Amino acid sequence: MPTSPDGSTQLSPTRVRLAMLALAIGAFGIGTTEFVAMGLLPNIASDLLPELFARSPEAANAQAGWLITAYALGVVVGAPTIAGMVARFSRRKVLTWLGAAFTLATLATAVLPSFELVLLSRFVAAIPHGAYFGIAALVGARLLGPSKRARGVALVMSGLTVANVIGVPFATWVGQGLGWRAAYLIVAALFALSTVAIFFAVPDQRGEPGQTLRRELRVFSSSQVWFALAIGSIGFGGFFAMYSYIAPIVTEVSGAPEQLVPWVLVTIGVGMTVGNFVAGHLADRSVTRTLLLFFALMLALLIGLALSAHSLPLLFVFVFAVGFAAQGIGPTIQTRLMDVAGDSQSIAAALNHSALNIGNAFGAALGGVVIASGAGYLAPIWVGVLLTVAGIGIAVASFHLERKQGRSTTAEVDSVEDDAVEDRALAERNLGSHIEA
């Protein structure tokens, strides 16, 4: 029977499952609020930017894309700050307060009247994002035990991937029928539910009493931490460059009606869900091979999508496959960061989401730039290809440096041991000489 996170009591398998479900519900709400704008971008643009939309739908969609970028930047700012500040507190209490903050900020998005205020609310709503996922990943990893850490992370992340199967398409469908604000009201209700579930179902887990923000920030002294963050922020941006503009890709490139957008989102979500669990199992065997495998897949599949998006059946095939490859990268980078972070586990786990959302902001912004330049709605996919290539290059450099440093460390240890052997031999010869004399 598994032990509780603080090691003081025994947890039944049922209690562990309920706790993991509660954490996944919170992730489900976050996944819905983060990605629902992708499917409703034209609706939001026409409502909040009506004059610009009347003159140029492309320009209005590109400007509305800043809502996605603002959310991503909020994650980047909030993840290390909050995670570092709350590392010493009870993790269940921290997760509960973060859930309440999500609820209030999402309500603000649903009711604020102007584009500028909605933009600000999306930034604020994102601040708890990284800290939630980081702390929830630590709780999930400990609940399942050392041999199943990556699977624990994947189970927490499963809420995000299932959100792309159910939450995002359903909220998109509601938003298309009742207005985009109704979609965010649904998301706020999800956050309220997750807050209650976490409070009652997640066992209390002590924080790290001696940990401070200053001590957590020592994680930035590790070159491998910086490499992992760069892999996520640049390489994963390739997915978001495509995903941020999936609605106009479906309607303008494939020529499908708007009502088909939620079904494309379902397809991406199913691919993400499958990729998340497959990567969780593979990463428990080898983080390095798993990361390179899924990056290589994403590169090939983005190229295939760019070449075949005019065909609606092929679009469905490739968005499923791209979702599979992209989400396989998420829990793998999370596990990688936990491996290289040393004692700064809380902030490292949250930094993964800073990295991925730098990719979100970067990908969405670059996608908007190429669309606004007149390059068309396929251009963001090619931006994604270039970002993925860069991510692979950074990953290869990181693993090469790690092996080189490992060999250097081994050589230093061997040299010290050889010196010690020589010293002992010399001492023995000297001792023998003295005895003979």
Q: Are residues 364 and 288 in contact, defined by beta-carbon separation less than 8 angstroms?
A: no
- On whether the pTM is more than 0.75, the answer is no
| Residue 7 covered by a domain | no
| Residue 5 covered by a domain | no
| Residue 56 covered by a domain | yes
Domain holding 20, by residue range, is 13-425
| Residue 432 covered by a domain | no
Q: Are residues 388 and 305 in contact, defined by beta-carbon separation less than 8 angstroms?
A: no
Nearest CA to 34 out of 70, 79, 81 is that of: 70
Q: How many domains does the chain have?
A: 1
| Residue 4 covered by a domain | no
Q: Would you state the pLDDT for residue 49? A: 87
pLDDT digits (tens, 9 = 90+) for 233-290: 888 788 888 888 888 899 888 888 888 888 888 888 888 888 877 887 787 778 888 8
DSSP per residue, 133-178:
HHHHHHHHHHHH-GGGHHHHHHHHHHHHHHIIIIIHHHHHHHHHHH
Angle of CA points 282, 288, 289, to nearest 5°: 55
Regions of the chain with pLDDT less than 50 = 1-3, 5-9, 408-421, 423, 426-428, 431, 433-437
Q: Would you state the pLDDT for residue 418? A: 47
| Residue 105 covered by a domain | yes
The Cα 187–Cα 192 span in angstroms is: 9
Q: Would you state the pLDDT for residue 145? A: 65
| Residue 296 covered by a domain | yes
| Residue 436 covered by a domain | no
Torsion sign across C-alpha atoms 296, 167, 186, 192: negative
Residues in the chain: 437
pLDDT digits (tens, 9 = 90+) for 361-387: 778 788 888 888 888 888 999 999 999
Q: Would you state the pLDDT for residue 215? A: 67
DSSP per residue, 244-306:
TTHHHIIIIIS---GGGHHHHHHHHHHHHHHHHHHHHHHHTT-HHHHHHHHHHHHHHHHHHHH
CATH number for the domain spanning 35: value is 1.20.1250.20
